[in-house]
Structure formats: C-alpha cells, structure tokens
Amino acid sequence: MKPVTITNTVLRDGHQSLAATRMSTEQMAPIAPLLDEIGFQSLETWGGATIDSCLRFLGENPFDRLDTLKKLAPKTPHQMLLRGQNIVQYTSFPDDVVEAFVACSAKHGMNIFRIFDALNDTRNLVTCIKAVKKAGQHAQGTICYTISPVHTLESFVKLGVELEKLGCDSICIKDMAGLISPSVVGALVKSLKEKVKIPIILHTHSTVGYGPAAYYAAIENGIDTVDCSMVPFANGTGQPDILLTLAMLDNSERRPDYDTSKFPQIREHLEKVYAELGAFTSPQNEKTDADILQYQVPGGMLSNFRNQLKEQGMADRLDDVLKEIPYVRECLGWIPLVTPTSQIVGTQAMLNVKFGRWKMFSQPAMDIALSKYGKTPGPIDPEVLKLAIEKTGQQPVECRPADLLEPRMPKIKAELKAKGYDDSDENAVLWAMFPAELEKVLKGEKPAPIKKPAAPVSEAAKAAVGRKYVLNVDGARHEVVVEEAK
C-alpha cells in the first residue's frame, strides 16, 4: 500500500475544538507559508464555525481571510467544511444562496469542499455537490459517524455507496465526537473499500482517547487520508497530533515522508497563540474523557459549550446537561451530534435542565421534530412530535426542506443596495447568514478586545480573605489585611 496522506486541520478545526474558533488571520499568517512547504494532502483553512467567528468576534471578512491564506500557502490544496444546505449556519438556505456561496468560495481559492448533512440526509447534499463540480473543484461527501440503535455498519456503507453515485470525488468518515473504536473503524474502512473506488478519509477527535489507535487501525486497513492537527491545538477535543501519528507509523510502509524540520518553529508560534487565546482555552478540553462515549458530544461543541454555560451562570450544571443530551437526542430521532444538531440538542438539554423537560421548547429543536432539517435517522418521540405540532400549528415536512424555500439572492442584493453596501455575491451570501455581524464589519466596527483570563483563585486563598497578618519587613512591623482579588 502507498503511504497515507495527512490533512492539516490546525487553521480550522484545531482552534475550533480547543479555543472556541478564536484564532485570527493575523495569528495564522506567520505559519501558513511553513505549512505550505511540508506537502500535506490539504490544509483545512475555512468553513465550519470560522466564518461566523470572523464576523462576530474578530471583525474580519471571511473572504479576506481565505484570500490571505491562499496567497501565503498557494501550493497546498485548501479545504473547507460545508454544512450542506445549511452552508455554515444553523438553518437551511435556498438553492440559489447555496450555489452562490460555493461559487464565491471556489473563486477565492477553495479547492476541497467537505460537505456533510447533520442527519446524513443526502437530499441536503445534492445542491452543494453539483455546485462544487460546476466550479471545477473537489466534492468530498461525508458520513457523519455516530452510535445508536439505528446506525449500523451496513447503513454507513450504504451511505458511502450513495455518495459515490451522487458524484463525490472522495468520502470522509466524520467522527465528530471521537467515538469510533479501532475495531469498528477497521471494519468500516475495509467494507467501504470493497464497495467504492474513490478515496476515503478519516476525521476524528481525541476526546475519548480512541483517536490515535483509530487512525492506526484505519491506516492498516487502507484509509487514504487522516486529519491531524498540531500541538497545542491538537489532542483532547481536537484531532490527534501529526507528530504522534507519524511516530506511530515508524517502520511502516504507510508512513508519509514529510519534512518535519519546520515543526519546532511552527510549534513555537502556536504555543504563543495558544497563550494569547487563554480566555477561550480550558484544561478540560485538553483531557481525554471516556464518559463522552455515553454523551457523544463533539470536541468543538464541548469547547464552546463550557463557555456558553459559564455565560448562562450554569457552569456548575455541565454534568447535568451532558447527562440530558442522550435523552434529547433519542427523542429527536437519534440524530448525530454535529453542527447544527449538536448545538440544537445541547441547547435543548440546557433548557430541560434549567426549566424542566420540554417546558421551554426551542424553535430549532421543534424544527428537527417537524423534519424541517430533513429526515431523522430514527422516529421522533410521539409526545415530543405532538408538542411541536401543538406549539407551531404545523405538520411535519415530507419533501426535501429546501424545496419549500423561495430564491433569495435578488432580494438580498436589493437589501444591500438599499443600505448603500456593495451587492457583490460575497456580501450577499454572508448577509444571508449573518446580516448584523456583516454590517458591523462593513461599517468598520471593531469587536470588544479579548479579556485575559484571571488567574484561578484557590480555596485556601478565598478562605484567607479578611484575615490580618503581621509582617516584619527590614525590621519594620506591618499589619496587612487580605483583601479579595478584584
């Protein structure tokens, strides 16, 4: 077998999973040329939550980021994560918006489009696949891996065969929560290889601890490419580290011959960036946790979820919310947990814990129950479906959800013109998804500066507040009262 190839995810999923997607283009720029010299299969530089984060938190235009990174790393194919009919948002968009987004992304240098649907409903992938092929780029279809009574090896292989028939150039097994065990991935890769001719890629996270072993098993069974990141934006809730993966393959014919001489320089810069993003990192994200096998929470969701619960004053309820997630997931048809379903299920679990089960029924969760996102893998809980119908007065959707959506590009361009903004396709597709955030960027408004995290205060230090101490300094006596840290 020929050597396995590696997709480097540090500029997208690496920091999305470990630092809430807060790495800026400025922080990426110094290492982009170095990454370009190594010869990776591709660099994942865009898509997922990065577009939202650019606009909402960093004051950047996402297309400017893509342009910059493409100039800095022109030799290696660039790759993005695309949520099918949801593009990079949480709701479905009309076909004309999806087609325009893909065309714009390709024009700005995107080469490989990893296209997935949170429900594995291939009806939600067709428009993207056709648009990518029309743009002359690489359409990578995705199998969202999860564990449930309705997800089997046979069902995943059947999905892979369907993706090849739809015209995909490759297939990614996307294990967003790091749930795939070495034995399962070996069997899945072997079975897919028997049924499809196109390359197969494995994407996983080290959240549970399976990651490196799963990669080794997949490589032994003929996987073509694996996704890896780079320390400190690797392992834990991120992808396995590249150097670790290479070390595992020592003396193997499948070890790729990458020049690792630039790795120390890249590592030094990434360590600096990781420290700069300390407000968004957490030691919890750096650990492996086998409990995730029960909760099945993706790495990117876990990183962001801790921040969100902290903001809601529910940091101490994380375990309760995690325990509620499998229940909500079963009620909503055993949906895989990947954006946007992971956020939808997580939010509903939080609402259930805070207010009682289904006392507060979020609109996105109701939309899942009503099949507005597509066909769920399993049946919706009858009582939950009944509640969704009662609250909305609507019946479940039977057709492809996007068939119910009117074209929007002309209307969006008219809105931009009316506000005095450039009505380019780039602005239009971003306006369709993030109008308020894009407007701030177009106005040149800068986001609030990142606050450095306060040093943790120990219990002993807290207990010392108010105590009086007598100190002798250079022979002089001083009385000191310990004050609470501000």
Pick the more confident residue, 88 or 315.
88
Please give the pLDDT value at position 474. 42
Quick one: average pLDDT of 435-463? 70
CA 133 to chain centre: 24
Q: Which amino acid is at 33?
A: P
Domains of the chain: 5-283 (3.20.20.70), 287-402 (1.10.472.90)
Quick one: average pLDDT of 58-77? 98
Q: What percent of the chain has pLDDT over 70?
A: 91
Among 128-137, 171-180, 295-304, 465-474, the range scoring the smallest mean pLDDT is 465-474
Pick the more confident residue, 318 or 108.
108
Where does the pLDDT of residue 306 fall: very low under 50, low under 70, confident under 90, or very high at 90 and above?
confident
pLDDT of residue 464 exceeding 80, the answer is no
Quick one: average pLDDT of 443-464? 60
pLDDT of residue 417 exceeding 50, the answer is yes
Q: How many residues does the chain have?
A: 486
Chain segment 348-394, per-residue pLDDT in tens:
999 999 999 999 999 999 999 999 999 999 999 999 999 999 999 99
CB 184 within 8 A of CB 143: no
pLDDT of residue 442 exceeding 80, the answer is yes
Quick one: average pLDDT of 61-78? 98
Residue with tokens 């089997």, as numbered in its chain: 152
Chain segment 32-50, per-residue pLDDT in tens:
999 999 999 999 999 999 9
pLDDT of residue 95 exceeding 70, the answer is yes
What is the enclosing helix (H) or strand (E) of 158? helix 153-165
* Segment 252-259 long-range contacts (CB within 8 Å, at least 24 positions apart): 252/219, 253/1, 253/3, 254/1, 254/2, 254/3, 254/4, 254/219, 254/220, 255/3, 255/4, 256/3, 256/4, 256/5, 256/6, 257/3, 258/6, 258/38, 258/39, 258/40, 259/37, 259/38, 259/39
Quick one: average pLDDT of 253-263? 95
pLDDT of residue 481 exceeding 50, the answer is no
Where does the pLDDT of residue 486 fall: very low under 50, low under 70, confident under 90, or very high at 90 and above?
very low
Pick the more confident residue, 212 or 454.
212
The average confidence (pLDDT) of the chain is: 91
Please give the pLDDT value at position 297. 72
Q: Which amino acid is at 194?
A: E
Pick the more confident residue, 95 or 446.
95
User: What gap in Å lies between CA 438 and CA 54, rounded to an integer?
Assistant: 10
Quick one: average pLDDT of 109-136? 97
Please give the pLDDT value at position 467. 52
User: What gap in Å lies between CA 112 and CA 126, rounded to an integer?
Assistant: 16
Please give the pLDDT value at position 385. 98
Please give the pLDDT value at position 448. 77
Angle at 186 between CA 181 and CA 191, to 5 degrees: 130
Residue 188 gets which letter from DSSP? H
Please give the pLDDT value at position 58. 97
Please give the pLDDT value at position 337. 87
SS3 readout for 303-348: HHHHHHHHHCCCHHHHHHHHHHHHHHHHHECCCCCCCCHHHHHHHH
Residue 373 gets which letter from DSSP? S
Both tokens assigned to 22: 């807060």
Interhelix angle for 425-433 vs 95-107, to 10°? Answer: 130
